[in-house]
Structure 1
Amino acid sequence: MSNVFEGYERQYCELSANLSKKCTAAGSLNGEQKKQKVSEIKAGIDEAEALIRKMDLEARSLQPNVRAVLLAKLREYKSDLNNLKSEVKKIVSGNLNPSARDELLESGMADTLTASSDQRSRLMMPTDRLNKTGDRVQQSRKTMLETEELGVSILQDLHSQRQSLLHAHTTLHGVDDNIGKSKKILTNMTRRMNKNKWIICGIVLVLVIAIALILYFKLSK
C-alpha cells in the first residue's frame, strides 16, 4: 500500500464529508448566503477532483495487484464525487420552489449523503485490510533484512576463519621448511663427525703401529 495514496485518500474522505455537510446547509439558504456556500462547494469539488487525479496517477505507478484494488476504490470515489456534483446542480437550479427544495433535502440529498457515507465506509474497509497486509509485508521485509544481516555476519566470520587458517597453513609451511633445513644441517654434521671419527681412528692406529715398531727395535738391540 502506498503511503502517498493513503494521504490523498484521507484528504479526499475528509473533504467529501465536509462537502456533504455544506450541501445540506446550502439547501436551506437563500440569496447571497446560498451563492457563497455554493461557491465554496464548487471550490471543494475542484479540490476533490485534483485529489482523485493524484490518486489515479499514484495508483497506476504501483504493482498490478495493488493497482487493481486502488483503481476499484477510485471508481467508487468518482461515483461519490458525481453524486455531490448532482446535488450542487439541484441546489443552484432556479426551478425549484421551496416545497420542492424541502423535499429534495429530506429525500434526495439524504439518500445521496447516506450512499456517499456507505461508499466511504465500504472503501475504508479494504484500506484497513491493505494496511494490515502492508504491515505484514513490512514485518516480513524486516525479518528478511535481519536474516540477510545475520548471513552477512556469518560469511564475514567464515572469511575471517579462512584467513586465519591460511595464515596458520603458511606458518606451518614455513616451519616445515625450517625443519627440512635443520635436518639437512644435522645430516651434514653427522657425516662430518663420522669422517672425523675415522680420521682420528686412523691416526691412533698409525701411532700404535709406530710405538710398536719403536719398542720392537729397542728390545731387539
Structure 2
Amino acid sequence: MSEVFEGYERQYCELSSNLSRKCTASSALHGEQKKQKFAEIKSGIDEAESLIRKMDLEARSLQPNIKAVLLAKLREYKSDLNNLKSEVKRIVSGNLNPAARDELLESGMADALTASADQRTRLMMSTERLGKSGGRIKESRRTMLETEELGVSILQDLHSQRQSLLHANNTLRGVDDNIGKSKRILTAMSRRMAKNKWIIGIIIAVLVIAIILILYFKLSK
C-alpha cells in the first residue's frame, strides 16, 4: 500500500470529521456567525477536494492490484463528498434569508457539504474492509516474492546440476574414446600374437621334419 496515499487519506478523514462537526454546529448559529462558519466549511471542502485529487493521482500511478483497492476507497470518499455537498446546499437554501443565501451561493457555498453520522460510519467500515483487503494483497505479494526467490534458487541449482551432468558426460565421452583406442590396440596385438603363433608353429614343423630326415638318412646308411 502507498504511504503517500495513506497520508492523504488520514488528512481527508480528519478534515471530513471536522467539517461534519462544523456543519452540525452551524445549525445553531445565526447571522454573521453562521456566515463565518459556512466560510470555514467552504475552505475545508476545497481542501478536501484537493486531497481527493491527490489521492486519485497517487492511486493511478501504482501497480494494477493496489490501484484497484485504492480506487475503490476513493469512490467511497467521492460519494461521501457528494452527499455532503447536497446536504450543505440544503442547509444553505433552507435556513438563510434570501440575501444571505444569494451571497453564500455567489461565493460558492452551494458546493459545500457535510456528512451524516450514518454515512461516516459506513465510510469508516468500508475503509476498514478495504484496509484488510490491502493487507491481504501485501501478504500475497510477500508470498509471491518468496515464491519467486525460491524459483530463482531452484533454477540456479538446476543450472549447476546441468553443468555437472555436462561435465560428467564429457568425461564419459573421453573415457569411451580411450576404451575404443585400447580395444583397437588389443585387437592388433591379438592378431600379431596369432600370426606369431602360426610362424612359430611352421618353424617347429620344419625343424621336426628336418630332424626326421637327418635321422632317416643316418639310420639308412
TM range (shorter): 0.5 to 0.7
Is 1:179 aligned with 2:183?
no
Any idea what the Cα deviations from partners look like across 1:185-217, whole Å, max 9, x if unmatched? 111111111111221222222233333334444
The 1:64/1:14 distance shift into structure 2, 3 A limit, reads closer
The 1:218/1:60 distance shift into structure 2, 3 A limit, reads closer
Supply the AA of the counterpart residue of 2:49: E
Which of 83, 98, 108 is matched with 1:79 structurally?
83
- Which has the higher mean CA deviation after the structures are superposed, 156-165 or 64-73? 64-73
Two-structure CA RMSD over aligned residues (Å): 4.2
Instruction: Kindly state the Cα deviation for residue 74 of structure 1 after the two structures are TM-superposed.
Output: 0.9
Which residue of the partner structure matches residue 102 of structure 1? none
Any idea what the Cα deviations from partners look like across 1:140-166, whole Å, max 9, x if unmatched? 232233233333433433343333333
Question: How far apart in 2 are the matches of 1:87 and 1:56?
Answer: 29
Which residue of the partner structure matches residue 162 of structure 1? 162
The 1:218/1:59 distance shift into structure 2, 3 A limit, reads closer
The 1:194/1:35 distance shift into structure 2, 3 A limit, reads same
Is 1:13 aligned with 2:1?
no
Question: How far apart in 2 are the matches of 1:3 and 1:145?
Answer: 20
Question: How far apart in 2 are the matches of 1:88 and 1:59?
Answer: 34
The 1:152/1:130 distance shift into structure 2, 3 A limit, reads same
Question: How far apart in 1 are the matches of 2:31 and 2:174?
Answer: 104
Supply the AA of the counterpart residue of 2:14: E
Question: How far apart in 1 are the matches of 2:14 and 2:86?
Answer: 16
Among the aligned pairs, what percent are the same residue? 66
The 1:116/1:60 distance shift into structure 2, 3 A limit, reads farther
Question: How far apart in 2 are the matches of 1:167 and 1:126?
Answer: 61
- Which has the higher mean CA deviation after the structures are superposed, 141-150 or 179-188? 141-150
Supply the AA of the counterpart residue of 1:163: Q
Any idea what the Cα deviations from partners look like across 1:36-85, whole Å, max 9, x if unmatched? 87765544333222113334555677766864563243121233256467
Supply the AA of the counterpart residue of 2:12: Y
The 1:192/1:172 distance shift into structure 2, 3 A limit, reads same
Is residue 19–residue 41 contact of structure 1 (8 Å, CA) maintained in 2?
yes
Question: How far apart in 2 are the matches of 1:204 and 1:168?
Answer: 53
Question: How far apart in 2 are the matches of 1:119 and 1:187?
Answer: 99
Question: How far apart in 1 are the matches of 2:200 and 2:175?
Answer: 37
The correspondence of residues 55-94 of structure 1 with structure 2, limited to 5 A, is 55-57=55-57, 67=71, 70-80=74-84, 83=87
The 1:212/1:52 distance shift into structure 2, 3 A limit, reads closer
Question: How far apart in 2 are the matches of 1:85 and 1:13?
Answer: 21
Which residue of the partner structure matches residue 199 of structure 1? 199
Give the 3-state SS of the residue equivalent to 2:80 in structure 1.
helix
Question: How far apart in 2 are the matches of 1:59 and 1:119?
Answer: 23
Which residue of the partner structure matches residue 109 of structure 2? none
Aligned residues: 204
The 1:214/1:86 distance shift into structure 2, 3 A limit, reads same
Q: TM-score, normalised by structure 1?
A: 0.66
